[in-house]
Chains A and B, each alone.
Chain A
């Protein structure tokens, strides 16, 4: 299993704040809001700045009502539904996110496709889970700070995914509702240490549109890229061994 990498070890941290990122981030913005892309589109850069786009599939899971749909909308810069209702099927959302690699300074567009499926729908129709798991690259495991049972349920969720070389990131939602907070800092820290999984927070007002989602998207991108590098390295090693064996 790939190890977690500390934030900023592979990607330039907080790149969205630096000046040289402007022209890349402008491609995902439109009138100060996030631009919407259809499946046939992607951010286009002028030829002299051509940028590779890498695609990943990410499954969002967590107890019903924990905020999966809201998180997906938040990450994509879309309006968050103002009333909770069950997602009746699978809904996917595309998020484009430019990053800069620390080594060599190469810029990449990450295309993260977030897969969101209501827990009851998963239980009611058997075809949804396999569809979400098909060629998935990462899972976002959600719990709500206002609901201790959703936090306790995390270990169950994680065991569902053991043995697979997936990026796993834990996200605590509704962090802003501290009045109703049910999960303590200590709980989270102990969990982080025992599981060695990154835990991120979401919730609160949208400050500058990108600032609140950047830590999560960068963390995901960094771990996905790291996983790919590890896989590529082992893959090349394997192919080398094979060639040696042939010789």
Chain B
């Protein structure tokens, strides 16, 4: 399971092929290659064929997609080392999802109208720059352990004191005349109003990403127009964000009132100052995502737990892995392996309603993986994979999906027990 570096993203106008921007990868593709990539797609179009993906002998991948008949996105992934378990299907899913996410980012910031009817290309080019920090976050996986872009489930953090924070978020949003409120700690949702969870899962993930990128610039509050790709692609809502403590941001989605000044001076301190200690405790949970009381067994290296009903996910990598021989993968590698194992499992064994938003024409009749999944007359509940670096186990129940990594020293027959125990430990302790 090896990662093939950062994919490169190219955005062009669909009708004329004028390049709008390119992001990702250190070495940019030469203009002639970009032109050819566009040309291939255009030629297909003139023959009544939609070119959607292609792979090279060296393992490189190219994925095309046109949005709103106006913007074409192309993702290019250089051929990698394609180690054990690397599946071309999984990579394609990853790239397709990337294009969709990038488009949604563009809609979120600029609105569908502006992207759908391009009147002035130069103007659009300039405007698109405002999306770059968000797009780069998607391409580079800016933060360790953030899985939302891949799973389309909201990255969550389970705070030690959920009740207090929930109450504060509800009260805060209500006093600002809004039903949509959310507290984001270290880039993950710690509490949100019921309505926030009813937004489309992609929107919840995108808004978290936007808050991460706004908070990253070091500003203390903002009033930002956002277009919800599903709910309101043409009419902007206001996203008010307040940085309570560095790393803890509260935000609301609202209409014309209240003004940023008013919300900040009248509401922020009364609601949140009494919760300073609770917020600090929440920040201390940090990357672990789980309260200190819940700690996975020492032979679990990394966990990804998804709640399929609420569309939320939590992740953690054991902070202090014991040294052993052969050496265990680094923290960063654990996150990578977890991502790869997730993509591997959902493309092969756990296909989901919404996880694979494969457009019908994207289906490649020769794809073995596809046949493999379709050939099942039943629904797989568990899967495992043993590689040179670690052992991985996946498990699904009607409500949850759990993916975990263990060192090679754990006997394979113990994986199943380990996984079900981890699941029941976390669920019973946190009610996730």
- Chain A residues with CB under 8 Å of chain B are 36-41, 57, 72-73, 76, 78-79, 81, 83-94, 113, 121, 125, 127-128, 130-131, 134-135
Contacts of B220 in A (CB 8 A): 37-39, 92-94, 113
- Chain B residues with CB under 8 Å of chain A are 109, 126-127, 129-130, 132, 214, 217-225, 236, 238-239, 242-246, 248, 256, 259-262, 264, 268-269, 272-273, 276, 279
Contact yes or no, B224 A39, CB < 8 A: no
Contacts of B272 in A (CB 8 A): 39-40
Q: Count chain A CB atoms within 10 A of each CB in B217, B242, B264 and give the residue with the most.
A: B217
Contact yes or no, B219 A130, CB < 8 A: no
Contact yes or no, B242 A39, CB < 8 A: yes
CB < 8 Å: which of B130, B217, B223, B243 contacts A39? B243
Tell me, in angstroms, the Cα distance from A40 to B214 when the chains sit together: 18
Query: Interface majority SS on B: helix, strand, loop or mixed?
Result: mixed
Tell me, in angstroms, the Cα distance from A88 to B238 when the chains sit together: 11
Contact yes or no, A131 B223, CB < 8 A: yes
Tell me, in angstroms, the Cα distance from A89 to B110 when the chains sit together: 12
Chain B residue nearest to A113 (CB atoms) is: B220
Chain A residue nearest to B245 (CB atoms) is: A38
Contact yes or no, A39 B262, CB < 8 A: no
* Shortest Cβ gap from B90 to chain A (Å): 33
CB < 8 Å: which of A36, A40, A92, A135 contacts B273? A40
Contact yes or no, B261 A85, CB < 8 A: no
Chain A residue nearest to B262 (CB atoms) is: A134
Contacts of B248 in A (CB 8 A): 38
Q: Count chain B CB atoms within 10 A of each CB in A81, A88, A113 and give the residue with the most.
A: A88
CB < 8 Å: which of B218, B246, B269 contacts A93? B218
Tell me, in angstroms, the Cα distance from A153 to B259 when the chains sit together: 28
* Shortest Cβ gap from B407 to chain A (Å): 36
Contacts of A128 in B (CB 8 A): 223
Contacts of B242 in A (CB 8 A): 39
30 contacts between A and B (CB under 8 A): A36-B218, A38-B220, A39-B220, A39-B243, A39-B244, A40-B273, A40-B276, A41-B245, A72-B219, A73-B218, A76-B218, A83-B129, A83-B132, A85-B126, A85-B129, A85-B130, A85-B132, A87-B130, A89-B223, A89-B224, A90-B223, A90-B224, A91-B221, A91-B224, A92-B221, A92-B260, A127-B238, A127-B259, A131-B223, A135-B261
Known contacts A79-B218, A88-B225, A131 near B259 by CB under 8 Å: yes
Contact yes or no, B259 A40, CB < 8 A: no
Known contacts A86-B129, A86-B130, A121-B225, A91 near B245 by CB under 8 Å: no
With A39-B242, A91-B219 given, name 7 new contacts (CB 8 A).
Answer: A37-B220, A40-B268, A40-B279, A88-B109, A127-B259, A130-B259, A131-B260
Q: Count chain B CB atoms within 10 A of each CB in A38, A92, A128 and give the residue with the most.
A: A38
* Shortest Cβ gap from A67 to chain B (Å): 15
CB < 8 Å: which of A36, A72, A84, A86 contacts B246? A36
Contacts of A78 in B (CB 8 A): 217-218
Tell me, in angstroms, the Cα distance from A84 to B218 when the chains sit together: 17
* Shortest Cβ gap from A231 to chain B (Å): 19
Contact yes or no, B222 A86, CB < 8 A: no
Q: 7 closest Cβ contacts across the A-B interface?
A: A85-B129, A38-B245, A89-B224, A78-B218, A90-B223, A131-B259, A91-B219
* Shortest Cβ gap from A222 to chain B (Å): 24
Tell me, in angstroms, the Cα distance from A57 to B260 when the chains sit together: 12
Q: Count chain A CB atoms within 10 A of each CB in B219, B246, B264, B268 and give the residue with the most.
A: B219
Contact yes or no, B261 A91, CB < 8 A: no
Contact yes or no, A38 B243, CB < 8 A: yes
Known contacts A40-B245, A41-B245, A81 near B129 by CB under 8 Å: no
Contacts of A41 in B (CB 8 A): 245
Tell me, in angstroms, the Cα distance from A83 to B127 when the chains sit together: 13
Known contacts A84-B129, A85-B132, A127-B256, A92 near B222 by CB under 8 Å: yes
Contacts of B239 in A (CB 8 A): 89
